[in-house]
Amino acid sequence: MNNNSIIRVNNLVKSYNNEALNALNGVSFSIRTGEVLSLMGPSGSGKSTLLNLLSTIDVPTTGDIWFDGKKSTAYKPYDRFRAETIGFVFQFHHLLSHLTLLENIELPMYSIESGKAKRRKRAEFLLDKVGLAAKQHSFPNRISGGERQLTAIARALANNPKLIIADEPTGSVDTRTGAMIIDYLIHHCTANNLTMIIATHNNDIAKKTHRIIHLENGLIKE
């Protein structure tokens, strides 16, 4: 693991309803390159808000986010930054039902102007890595829930992201499949010096990560 910080968060506040409600109340921390960090807390603690800010889907009311030594605002337009830098894994796979597994994985690569042959080769490689090479031409409704989530992970890795954001990535699969998915993600990050943030309610998952941050009422609980 690299000791350099890939992300620094300074006094992050996120308010809603004309500042009547604070989802985050001044959060500060840093994440090292290659670190796998879990984010825990009850519903309403601010986990999803924090993930949205870190991934530039939303912007803070006050406070700063630094990514690779630059303020996040330096990376506008954010859609390009997200496509090139961040891989997302959600609780539900969000695969497009009318596309094959290969075609679903190719989708993020269109945003970085990669050629057709390059997209196909990368998608085939990733499907092989998650053990689904034999099902590359299948449609999502023809495979199991765990296989759909593995396909979604392959899609998240399509553009070689520096950061993986996983929001309850095992919430829609059984315990055994969930453990396999988490083990795969952690192994991939460790092998490639990638950083990952996992939001989870599952203590067994959190214990596998390098560090746990507990959020409560929009604050980091020491």
Give the percent of the chain with pLDDT over 90: 27
Average pLDDT over residues 85-114: 83
Rg (CA), the chain: 17
What pLDDT shows up at residue 109? 81
Rounded CA-CA distance 84/111 in Å is 8
| DSSP codes of every residue in 138-180 | --GGGS-HHHHHHHHHHHHTTT--SEEEEESTTTTS-HHHHHH
Judged on CB neighbours under 10 Å (0-12, 13-18, 19+), 87 is buried
Domain-wise residue ranges, the chain: 5-221
pLDDT at 67 over 90: yes
What pLDDT shows up at residue 10? 93
What pLDDT shows up at residue 156? 87
Residue-wise pLDDT for 37-61, tens only, equals 999 988 878 888 899 899 998 889 9
At residue 213 the predicted structure's pLDDT band, cuts being 50, 70 and 90, is very high
Average pLDDT over residues 70-80: 88
Min mean pLDDT across 146-155, 169-178, 200-209 is at 169-178
Could you tell me which CATH number the domain at 5-221 has?
3.40.50.300
Rounded CA-CA distance 85/160 in Å is 7
CA distances to 20, 22, 71 from 198, rounded to whole Å, are 29, 22, 22
In 20-44, which positions are buried (b, 16+ CB within 10 angstroms) versus exposed (e)? Answer: eebbbbebeeebbbbbbbbbbbeee
What pLDDT shows up at residue 143? 85
At residue 8 the predicted structure's pLDDT band, cuts being 50, 70 and 90, is very high
pLDDT at 66 over 90: yes
At residue 3 the predicted structure's pLDDT band, cuts being 50, 70 and 90, is low
> Where does residue 124 fall: left (phi above 0), alpha (psi -120 to 50 degrees), or beta otherwise?
alpha
At residue 65 the predicted structure's pLDDT band, cuts being 50, 70 and 90, is very high
